[in-house]
Amino acid sequence: MITVIGSLNMDLVVETKGLPKQGETNFGKSFATMPGGKGANQAVSVSRLGADVQFIGCIGEDLFGNELLKNLKNENIDTKNIQTVKNSSTGIANILLSEGDNRIIVIPGANYELTSQKIISKKDTILQSKMVIIQLEIPANTVLKVLEICHTANIPVLLNPAPASSFSMDYIDYATFITPNETECKDIFGVNYEKALELYPNQLIVTKGKSGAQYFDGIEHKFIKGFKTNVIDTTGAGDTFNGAFAFAISRQYPFNDAVEFANAAASLSVEKFGAQGGMPSLQLVMKRVASRI
């Protein structure tokens, strides 16, 4: 069982050609609401590959919350540890899609009701996990509590440090894998992040969009090239990478193969619209991996 602890957001996606300047009003191309949230996305990524997934998180008592819950159930994810909280609305993400990339503003809402006390009450659920995946769209002390529980119980944790502004250096000693994208890595470790990679071999992995991913294996830097892809929407590519990497590690793939597998999954995810729209099945990922061998 893989446990994902994190956010559920309704993504409010606006596609636009150019971005408005301060004080300017522009017409956009389209608008859509799509299920998202880094936590939910990573859970869907793992589940589509065929692993058992349970989710711990919070939604509000509203329409978006109901839809997000229904969506995770449809994706075969165990949702019994998702709590509906009063007095807080379900998280949303305002996503601007422009020139092949995205800019995201998150209003956490109910995601911030996932307190460390709630985590303590879910300890037995967490202890059932082969691996735990967590991100930073929930309160910082909740993240720390999860890391402490897993560390004591020897359960590997993949920490996706997004948004990077919520990252704390205290997390490093507890997390088995840390997976920032390049912007997040620079925010956390500075522009010369290669030194940080060397400090945390086989632990810190930087995802670099279409250029693939990079890590240090203790002897040398490894650059895992991205796969050729036809980009429609990059939202959720990092989440797909994280879910696929956790899946591969939990199936005992060698580290390098797990990164390659995750890269292939991420390259497929960008070929469809929406954070979860293009998340692939195991069969599709295997096919893409084989296309390079």
* Residues 104 to 123 in contact with ligand RIB, rule: CB under 6 A: 104, 106
Number of residues that bind ligand RIB (CB under 6 A): 16
Look up 62 and say whether it is catalytic: no
Site map (CB under 6 A) of ligand RIB, residues 181-220, x = contact: ----------------------------------------
Answer yes or no whether residue 236 interacts with ligand RIB by CB under 6 A: yes
CA distance 33 to 43: 19
The answer to whether 235 contacts ligand RIB (rule: CB under 6 A) is yes
Instruction: Show Cβ contacts of residue 70 under 8 Å, excluding neighbours closer than 6 positions.
Output: none
Let me know: does 206 contact 181? Beta carbons within 8 Å.
yes
Phi and psi at 106, nearest 5°, equal -105, 135
| Residue with Cβ nearer ligand RIB (93 or 196) | 93
Query: With binding defined as CB under 6 A, does residue 46 bind ligand RIB?
Result: no
Does 275 engage in binding with ligand RIB (CB under 6 A)? yes
Burial of 66 (0-12, 13-18, 19+ CB in 10 A): middle
Q: Which residue from 52, 36, 37 is spatially nearest to 247, judged by alpha carbons?
A: 52
**CA–CA gap between residue 135 and residue 111 (Å, rounded):** 11
Considering only 75, 78, 113, 137, the residue that binds ligand RIB (CB under 6 A) is 137
Task: Name the residues that contact ligand RIB, by CB under 6 A.
Answer: 7, 9, 11, 36-38, 41, 93, 104, 106, 137, 235-236, 238-239, 275
For the annotated catalytic residues, the residue numbers are 239
